[in-house]
Amino acid sequence: MNLQQTNTSLFRRLRFILVETSRSGNIGSVARAMKTMGFSDMVLVNPRFANMTQQDEAIAFASSAHDILAAAREVGSIEEALEGCNFAAAVSARLREFSPPIVSPRNLASQLATDGSLNAALIFGNERFGLPNGIVEKCNVLINIPANPLYSSLNLAQAAQVLAYECRVAAIGDGVPVSGIGFQGAAAGIAEIEGMYAHLEQALTAIGFLNPEQPKKLMPRLKRLFARTRLETEEVNILRGIAKKILSRQ
C-alpha cells in the first residue's frame, strides 16, 4: 500500500494562516517549515507589505520551499482566509479570559487526522502582538504549546514547525519510514541462525571459553543478545566466518 496515497488527506485539509505578519523572512521560514512536513496551503491576512512572499528575505528563508511562497494567497480579512474551512485553531502563547477550549498541539493533530470531515486552519498572529482577541474568539480551539513556563516565547516559524510536525506524525504515524539510505540486508532465517549458534558454540569450546561439561547459561545468553539485533544473512555469515577461522587455528 502506497503511503502517499493512503495518508495525504490531512495534508490537503490543513491550511496555515498568518495574520499581519511583519517580516518577510518569517513568511519564508514558515513556508519551509510547512514543506518539510508535507503541507502547502498558506494564506496571508493583511501582511505588513504587499507581495512579501516575493521579497528576497522571504525567498532566502524559504530555502527550497519557493513553491509554497508562489502559491500563497493574500487576503484582507480572517473571514476570507477561512473560506472553505469548517474548523479553526488559534495558536497563541497568551491565554485569554474568554477563549475557546485550550488543547495541546498533539491532541489537536490527533483530532484533525482522525476526523476526515474537518477542513482546518491553523492561525498564527503577528510576531510582536500575537492574535487579537476578536480572531481568537472566532476559533474552535486555542492551541497552547507546552513550552518552558519561564521562557515560553517561540518565534513564528518555530510555532509553525511544532504544529506541522505534530500534524504529520498524527497523519502518518511515528514509525521511521524505510528510506533506502544505508545497507539493508535480508533478515536471516531461523535455520541460518541456529546453524550459526552451533558453529559458534564449537569455536568457543575449542578455545576453552565454553566448557561443554559445565556450559551454564553462556549460549542462552548469547542467543538472547543476538535475538535483539535482528540478524541479517550477511551478519550471520560474518559470525560463522569468525567461528571457522577460530577452529582452523586449533
Average pLDDT value for residue range 194-222: 89
Return the DSSP state at 53. G
Domain 190-248 annotated CATH 1.10.8.590? yes
What would the mean pLDDT of 228-242 be, rounded to a whole number?
A: 91
Query: What are the C-alpha distances in Å from 1 to residues 4, 5, 120?
Result: 9, 8, 26
Between helices 190-206 and 233-248, what is the axis angle to 10°?
20
Question: Residue 169: pLDDT above 60?
Answer: yes
* 197 has a pLDDT exceeding 80: yes
Model confidence at 45: pLDDT above 70: yes
Q: Residue 5's pLDDT is what?
A: 35
The pairing of beta strand 102-103 with beta strand 87-91? unpaired
Taking residues 146-169, report their average pLDDT.
91
Confidence class for position 3, pLDDT limits 50, 70, 90: very low
Q: Burial of 33 by CB count in 10 Å (0-12 exposed, 13-18 middle, 19+ buried)?
A: buried
Report CA torsion sign: 4, 8, 12, 14: negative
Q: Which region holds residue 20: left if phi is over 0, alpha if psi is between -120 and 50, else beta?
A: left
pTM: 0.72
pLDDT of residue 185: 80
At residue 4, the pLDDT reads 40
Tell me what the mean pLDDT of segment 177-190 comes to.
Answer: 70
Which pLDDT tens digit goes with each residue over 121-142?
A: 999 999 888 888 889 988 999 9
SS3 211: coil
Virtual torsion, Cα 108, 145, 40, 65, nearest 10 deg: -160
**3-172: CATH topology:** Alpha/beta knot (3.40.1280)
pLDDT > 90 in the chain, percent: 64
- Grid coordinates in use for 54? 516575493
Task: Using pLDDT thresholds of 50, 70 and 90, give the confidence band for residue 119.
Answer: very high
Helices (H), 76-232: 78-81, 105-114, 133-136, 156-172, 190-206, 218-227
| Same-fold call for 3-172 versus 190-248 | no
- The domain limits of the chain are 3-172, 190-248
- pLDDT on residue 182: 59
Q: How far apart are CA 190 and CA 196, in angstroms?
A: 10
Confidence of residue 176 (pLDDT cuts 50, 70, 90): low
E-assigned strands of the chain? 14-19, 41-45, 73-75, 87-91, 102-103, 120-124, 141-143
- Inter-residue contact 167 to 33 (CB < 8 Å): no
